[in-house]
Amino acid sequence: MAQARPTSGKPPVISIGFVAWLRENLFSSLANTLLTLGSLAILYFAGRSFLTWAFTQANWGAVTGNLKVLTWGRYPEAQVWRLGVSLLILIVLGVITWRVWRGEPSTSRRIVLLGWAISPVVLTILIRGVTLPTPATIANNLGYYLFRPDVLPLLEQSWRGTSAMIWVGLLLGLTRGMIESRRARLAALIASAAALLFLLPLGLQIEPWIFGLKIPFLIPLLVNLLLATLIGQAAGHSLANVGGVQGALPWLWGLSVPLLLILLTTFDVGVASVAPVEALPIVEPNIWSGIMLTLVLAVVSIVASFPIGVLLALGRRSKLPVVRWVCILFIEVVRGVPLITILFMAQVMLPLFLPLELSIDRVVRAMAGMTLFTAAYLAEIVRGGLQAVHQEQVEAAHALGLSEILVTGLIVLPQALRAVIPPIMGQFVSMFKDTSLVAIVGLLDLLAVGQSVIKQREYLGAVREIYLFAGLFYFVVSYAMSTASRRLEIQLGVVES
């Protein structure tokens, strides 16, 4: 009689005992037995001396006694809660993103993206602090601006007028390029003319800064306005068919009223009676230190370098020769220079290129350096992903009538980025560890703080303890990042789970 076969499609599960496992994996032959015994001996001796040191000789007080210094350094202790809240915001945002992206695409994705878009502002305000102007300061500054514009260059505030001018020009250009209705374009023109008239007193005082030549005061202003309008118009033309962008235009115009007000009224004229309110006490970046600085550098560089890297990669494949060559030049120059050189350049050379009135904090300069460095590497990784997307995909999308921007955003980039998650995450992990290089240009990251701890008299010999602690911290964060990357790949179906 034929035996009944089990009908379930599952393969049989083979279970073996512990001893059988040992025999199969560690003692299967004479050579393997010898190797196993040898390795055990090495592990025993190394482990024993390490454990002896760790439990009897090590002075862990160097770590535990300095935990606060190592973690948030010189950040005022009464304000440390702000760091906690910032970390919490990041974690919550991360978890929500993860959950939303698992499900079907929906409007909640837009909300999450909006959350990420405004998070830099919120986190900066939280970590650095914010002063709010009182109504009196606003009135006072507006008064200065309208009636004593000659004071502004003395206060080194004329860049505000330039920025306002560029903003108005961009909006005007965008409207001209995007909107075909004559009435809307006329309204934009009138709004810009009103803004221009309002800005004119400031314009009269702007320091001419075209190649340092002394040029009649209004010319640089008008050049800025004209350039911004042209750029805006070109952008408007190419964005005209993208869904949702046109709808954002009225919001941008609406936004420009508070923006211009902030731009033109928030400077400090040093009148004590109308001093601004410190809503969150300012903690200048130059006293950020320890793990906190390491994490801030890493998060900022990761978040900021990603879009820049993607844009560079797209720019490198652009059909416009100027865009392509600028991107290639940037990528190749940055990749041809060691990170430490870029950090030094950011500290020493950057001030040479920027207008005098813009003095940027050293921490921010380090962030900019790391961001640009990472962006160049990311650009090459993303370009690899772009090349992996077949031309047929682009053709199919074109045949459906999708515009160039939509093809890139909906078809090419999603596929390209999916293909390069592992190298991108690898780059981020490597960038995270490279933040330790900022110690060389004098910033007090975890490693630099650790080195200063070692120099304290009571912990003079605690070199190993401190470096072990730092190493453990870097390992835990890096490992968490690569685990997240692996789960992301599984999530997106790049690899089988």
Partner 1 sequence: MSDPVISCTDVHKWFGNFEALKGVDMQVEKGEVIVIFGPSGSGKSTFIRTLNRLEEHQQGTIIIDGIELTHDVRNIAAIRSEIGMVFQQFNLFPHLSVLQNVTLAPIWVRKWPKEKAEEVAVQLLERVGIPEQAQKYPGQLSGGQQQRVAIARALAMQPKIMLFDEPTSALDPEMIKEVLDVMIGLAKTGMTMLVVTHEMGFARAVADRMYFFDEGLVIESGSPDDIFKSPQEDRTKLFLSQILTH
Residues found near partner 1 in the complex (CB under 8 A): 105, 241, 243, 392-393, 395-403, 406, 410-411, 414-415, 418, 493
Residue 438 contacts residue 283 (beta carbons within 8 Å):
no
Q: How far is the CB of 403 from partner 1 (least distance, A)?
A: 6
Closer residue to partner 1 in complex, CB, 215/495: 495
Report d(CA 337, CA 345) in Å as an integer. 11
Q: How far is the CB of 491 from partner 1 (least distance, A)?
A: 13
Q: How far is the CB of 404 from partner 1 (least distance, A)?
A: 9
Task: Please report, to the nearest 10 degrees, the dihedral formed by the alpha carbons of residues 329, 335, 340, 343 taken in order.
Answer: 40
Q: How far is the CB of 334 from partner 1 (least distance, A)?
A: 30
Report d(CA 201, CA 205) in Å as an integer. 7
Closer residue to partner 1 in complex, CB, 57/497: 497
CB atoms within 10 A of CB 194: 11
Q: How far is the CB of 368 from partner 1 (least distance, A)?
A: 33
Closer residue to partner 1 in complex, CB, 131/403: 403
Closer residue to partner 1 in complex, CB, 415/482: 415
Q: Is 262 helix (H, G, I), strand (E, B) or coil?
A: helix
Closer residue to partner 1 in complex, CB, 243/321: 243
DSSP code of 357?
T
- Sort residue 277 into left (φ over 0), alpha (ψ -120 to 50) or beta: beta
Which residues have CB under 8 Å from 207's CB, separation 6+?
153, 158
Q: How far is the CB of 238 from partner 1 (least distance, A)?
A: 9
Q: How far is the CB of 410 from partner 1 (least distance, A)?
A: 7
Tokens of 43: 């592990």
Which residues have CB under 8 Å from 418's CB, separation 6+?
385, 492, 494
Report d(CA 191, CA 193) in Å as an integer. 5
Report d(CA 193, CA 185) in Å as an integer. 12
DSSP code of 272?
G
Closer residue to partner 1 in complex, CB, 354/400: 400
Which residues have CB under 8 Å from 64's CB, separation 6+?
none
Closer residue to partner 1 in complex, CB, 100/454: 100
Q: How far is the CB of 393 from partner 1 (least distance, A)?
A: 6
Closer residue to partner 1 in complex, CB, 74/398: 398
Alpha helices in 77-206 (DSSP H): 80-102, 107-128, 135-147, 159-178, 182-205
Closer residue to partner 1 in complex, CB, 318/393: 393
Residue with tokens 């602690």: 469
Tokens of 21: 């496992």
